[in-house]
Chains A and B, each alone.
Chain A
Amino acid sequence: MGENRYDADSIVVLEGLAAVRMRPAMYVGSTGPDGVMQLVIEVLQNALDEALAGEATEVHVSLDADDVWSVSDNGRGIPVDIHKPTGLRIPEVLVTELHAGGKFREGAYRLPGGLHGVGLTCVNALSATFELEVCREGGRWAGRWAAGKAVQPFVRLGHSDRTGTTVRFRADPGVFGGARAELAAVERWLRCQSWLTSGLSCRLRSPGAEVSFSSDEGIAGFAGWLAEGHERVHAQPVAVSATVGTHEVAAALLWTRAFAENFQGFVNHVHTPLGGAHADGLRAAVGHALTRYAREARLIDSTEPLETNDALEGLVAVLSVRMPDPHFEGQTKTRLLDAPAGRAVESAVGAALAVWLRANPSDAAAVVGRAIEAGRARLASRRASERARYERVEHLVDKEIYRQQFGIRSKTWHTSADWITNAGLLGLHGGSSQLAEDAVLLDVCCGSGVVGASFRGKVGRIVGLDLTPEMVALSRQRLDEVVQGDVYDIPFAEATFDGVCNREVLHLLPQPERPLAEIFRVLKPGGQFVVGQWVPFGAIDGPWMFQVVKKKQPLFVNNLYDEDVEALLKNAGFVNLTKQEYLQWEDIDNWIATWETPLLHRHQIRDLYHHCPAEVRAVHPFEISSSGAIRDCWRWVVYSAFKPA
């Protein structure tokens, strides 16, 4: 019993910054690039709070070649008086004491966004070098710290005519390894803030580059910028500006022809990539307002549903809520928890949107028409999926579904996913060729023909085969001849081709054995088959990846593992099997922005990444940036096998 004492001596109290250094991820979210980004954001947020208080008009940021970040504002400068309880100057207290700051009491900052006395202290604690310079009341003051410990006391150095605060720091490699904040993410943050804060000008300088942001267009300009590259359903964003109780709500809504919803939410200018109560309020308001208007204007009858998801498709929405004492999930503030904020947003956005719809009947009809169209597409997709399942009882494929889906996707095929035109991956296909220079190659399910084209120069003639007329037209730009036809019944005689290639098709077919038998048939004896297939990172990853891909692609029916593809090839009669692996990074937000992936599924896919089991993360690399963007590393295997001579 005496072995495991649990008494006062066993309690360790981590004083001040030691607690931050011992558990850095608890304070800044991670010890990777996102954590360093959080340090930059914490400093920026303090500068921004001066601007929000109406005291600063400029925020300048720079990154030098030694990874030192510098953030300065032209605000009032941190007060330099003596803090009576500690006997230290206030700036020293602010950067060395947790939960010390001017944001706990009303007055100095009405609606601050920083971490309430944790921000600068954490940055100091987790920085190899940290310098604070304050210009105020005619003086220039500065101090320096390393890993939170004072190196140079905070003292007055001389005279200054300006006012403001400058923080320079370098993230501690002992904590963050070689992780660096993404310059593009900082640029995006500054760009967002210049839109959210009227009268604020931001500048970002890095070795060899400088960009400035200043916008008088407000968040409507922000929505317009987010909608760039997409066809707009109406010309000008719907503007919302209202105060509901203690909540100030500003929003801009702009519907586009894009498939995905693009929501950017901010609470006291802090980006909330996972949404929360305010996002829920906006979505509810949009759904209710559009349904009510559509019924009033007799654009739908009382029996036709207009679901919120359909109303949100293609919507670009920027929402800024300013409120006292917000509560977030986690220290890095990714999700707002306050239900009253949701109700305030729902009320403000609902009222403004209702007014706009009635005042702009032609735009309103276009927006509602967009939602009705999305709903009908969703129902068609569901019916197609149900029909496909029914047909599969006989192991038949409803070819019309494939034609419909890939016909629609052919319009944006090359930009709909990175893997399609990835040069390294295509190079592995063509690079596997052991065919003669005058060989004839068949590209099965050729799509746009890029896989077949990767053999160009290695074989004499390349023929394509695809089910979809649109893809046949597309691939004719690359291949020598393209035939419309079915992989279950390849329209060529036995032993026609010296080589066959194919990529990313077998898992869409209920019986992959059948196309493999067909490919075997049309190959000449000794002919080569090259097939590329995405596969999971083993048994631990398989079910998680199944969920991601099935949500994205309803036609996905076979979660093929590496060993499954090998077995399929061997069982089909192929010999001399060799394979090469290739890791490819995919932009998931782009990949899921397609017709066949309904909005609900897109949210659920993002949830799968955000709540990915730890053991899957240990084997399957992916990244979620501080802006919420997801990049996933896919494991491809390119197999080469031969029909026996």
Chain B
Amino acid sequence: MPDSPPSAAPIRPAPPRLDDALTREHLEAALRDEAVAATECAWFARIAEIEGQTEASRALREMAEQHQQNANTTLDLLLRSREALIGARAGTTAENLAVVERFYRRDAEAHASRAATARREGFSDIGSWFESVSRLRVAHGARLASLREENPDG
């Protein structure tokens, strides 16, 4: 008799985990790039429009739209990762609110620190801008926290 085939079930490779992968870092970098490019293109489009550079303005505006959509998709892919962008699970609106709230808390501190550096280096206006944004982050975080408290089940 010929040897019987092995009885063990075929080995199925485990799906790759985005959390631990270099690709996740690349997605984060790509999201930042797309967001920056979307902002730059939209801003420059408006400047071109004011300057009467109609064709340049249209081209930049259309590119800004593309960048924004690319950013949306990149974020969507990144959300496959458990920890998403800033170490909290996202997906449902309740989870998403928590993610953004957490981002605001951390970013308020980050902006306050950036403000101190800017002032130390002599850039008072940039420091003042960072401080203003830091205060806004605190206000936004408080708004989301109160929303979460009012609707604890999301």
| Residues of B116-154 whose CB lies within 8 A of A | 121-125, 128-129, 131-133, 135-136, 138-139
Q: Does B10 contact A (CB under 8 A)?
A: no
Give every chain A residue within 8 A of B47 (Cβ-Cβ). 600
Give every chain B residue within 8 A of A558 (Cβ-Cβ). 124-125, 128
Number of A-B contacts (CB under 8 A): 83
Asked if B54 and A543 sit within 8 Å, CB to CB, the answer is no
Q: How far is the CA of A394 from the CA of B53 in the complex (A)?
A: 40
Asked if A542 and B136 sit within 8 Å, CB to CB, the answer is yes
Give every chain A residue within 8 A of B136 (Cβ-Cβ). 539-540, 542-543
In the complex with contacts A392-B122, A510-B124, A557-B125, A280-B49 CB distance below 8 A: yes
Q: How far is the CA of A339 from the CA of B121 in the complex (A)?
A: 47
Asked if A284 and B52 sit within 8 Å, CB to CB, the answer is yes
Q: How far is the CB of B51 from chain A (nearest CB, A)?
A: 5
Give every chain B residue within 8 A of A265 (Cβ-Cβ). none
Q: How far is the CA of A599 from the CA of B124 in the complex (A)?
A: 25
Asked if B139 and A600 sit within 8 Å, CB to CB, the answer is no
Asked if B139 and A539 sit within 8 Å, CB to CB, the answer is yes
Q: Does A329 contact B (CB under 8 A)?
A: no
Given contacts A284-B53, A540-B139, 13 further A-B contacts (CB under 8 A): A281-B52, A282-B52, A283-B50, A308-B53, A392-B124, A395-B124, A510-B122, A542-B136, A543-B132, A559-B128, A599-B50, A603-B46, A604-B46
Q: Does A556 contact B (CB under 8 A)?
A: yes
Give every chain B residue within 8 A of A559 (Cβ-Cβ). 128-129, 131-132
Q: How far is the CB of A416 from chain B (nearest CB, A)?
A: 22
Asked if B50 and A539 sit within 8 Å, CB to CB, the answer is no
Give every chain A residue within 8 A of B122 (Cβ-Cβ). 389, 392-395, 510
Q: Does B57 contact A (CB under 8 A)?
A: yes
In the complex, residue of chain B having the shortest beta-carbon distance to the beta carbon of A283: B52
Give every chain A residue within 8 A of B46 (Cβ-Cβ). 603-604, 607
Interchain Cβ contacts under 8 Å between A and B, 18 examples: A280-B52, A280-B57, A284-B53, A309-B50, A389-B125, A392-B122, A394-B122, A395-B122, A395-B124, A539-B136, A542-B136, A543-B129, A546-B129, A546-B132, A550-B129, A557-B128, A561-B135, A604-B50
Q: How far is the CB of B50 from chain A (nearest CB, A)?
A: 4
Give every chain B residue within 8 A of A556 (Cβ-Cβ). 125
Give every chain A residue within 8 A of B51 (Cβ-Cβ). 283, 287, 307-309, 600
Give every chain B residue within 8 A of A392 (Cβ-Cβ). 122-124
Contact with A along B12-26 (1 / 0, CB 8 A): 000000000000000
Asked if B54 and A284 sit within 8 Å, CB to CB, the answer is yes
In the complex with contacts A394-B122, A510-B124, A542-B136, A339-B54 CB distance below 8 A: yes
Q: How far is the CA of A394 from the CA of B50 in the complex (A)?
A: 36
In the complex, residue of chain B having the shortest beta-carbon distance to the beta carbon of A616: B136
Q: How far is the CA of A284 from the CA of B129 in the complex (A)?
A: 34
Count of chain B residues with a beta carbon within 8 Å of a chain A beta carbon: 24
Contact with A along B22-56 (1 / 0, CB 8 A): 00000000000000000000000011011111100
In the complex, residue of chain A having the shortest beta-carbon distance to the beta carbon of B48: A280
Q: Does A384 contact B (CB under 8 A)?
A: no
| Residues of A125-168 whose CB lies within 8 A of B | none
Give every chain A residue within 8 A of B52 (Cβ-Cβ). 280-287, 308
Asked if B135 and A542 sit within 8 Å, CB to CB, the answer is yes
Q: Could you tell me which A residues sit within 8 Å of B by CB distance?
A: 277, 280-287, 307-309, 339, 342, 346, 389, 392-395, 510-511, 538-540, 542-543, 546, 550, 556-559, 561, 599-600, 603-604, 607
Asked if B54 and A393 sit within 8 Å, CB to CB, the answer is no
Q: How far is the CA of A603 from the CA of B52 in the complex (A)?
A: 12
Give every chain A residue within 8 A of B49 (Cβ-Cβ). 280
Q: How far is the CA of A501 from the CA of B49 in the complex (A)?
A: 44
Give every chain B residue within 8 A of A346 (Cβ-Cβ). 54
Q: How far is the CB of A261 from chain B (nearest CB, A)?
A: 10
* Max chain A Cβ within 10 angstroms of own Cβ: one of B124, B125, B129, B133: B125
Give every chain B residue within 8 A of A281 (Cβ-Cβ). 52, 54
Asked if B54 and A280 sit within 8 Å, CB to CB, the answer is yes
Asked if A543 and B124 sit within 8 Å, CB to CB, the answer is no
Q: How far is the CA of A307 from the CA of B53 in the complex (A)?
A: 11
Q: How far is the CA of A283 from the CA of B54 in the complex (A)?
A: 9
In the complex, residue of chain B having the shortest beta-carbon distance to the beta carbon of A311: B52
Ranked nearest first, the 6 interchain pairs of A and B with the lowest CB-CB distance are A283-B52, A393-B122, A284-B52, A510-B124, A539-B139, A539-B135
Q: How far is the CA of A393 from the CA of B135 in the complex (A)?
A: 24
Q: How far is the CA of A346 from the CA of B54 in the complex (A)?
A: 10
In the complex, residue of chain B having the shortest beta-carbon distance to the beta carbon of A512: B124
In the complex, residue of chain B having the shortest beta-carbon distance to the beta carbon of A343: B54
Q: How far is the CA of A561 from the CA of B134 in the complex (A)?
A: 13
In the complex with contacts A546-B128, A556-B125, A342-B50 CB distance below 8 A: no
Give every chain A residue within 8 A of B128 (Cβ-Cβ). 546, 557-559
Q: How far is the CA of A511 from the CA of B131 in the complex (A)?
A: 15
Which of A286, A389, A538 is in CB contact (< 8 Å) with B123? A389
Q: How far is the CA of A607 from the CA of B46 in the complex (A)?
A: 9
* Max chain B Cβ within 10 angstroms of own Cβ: one of A285, A339, A542: A542
Give every chain A residue within 8 A of B129 (Cβ-Cβ). 543, 546, 550, 559
In the complex, residue of chain A having the shortest beta-carbon distance to the beta carbon of B125: A557
Asked if A550 and B125 sit within 8 Å, CB to CB, the answer is yes
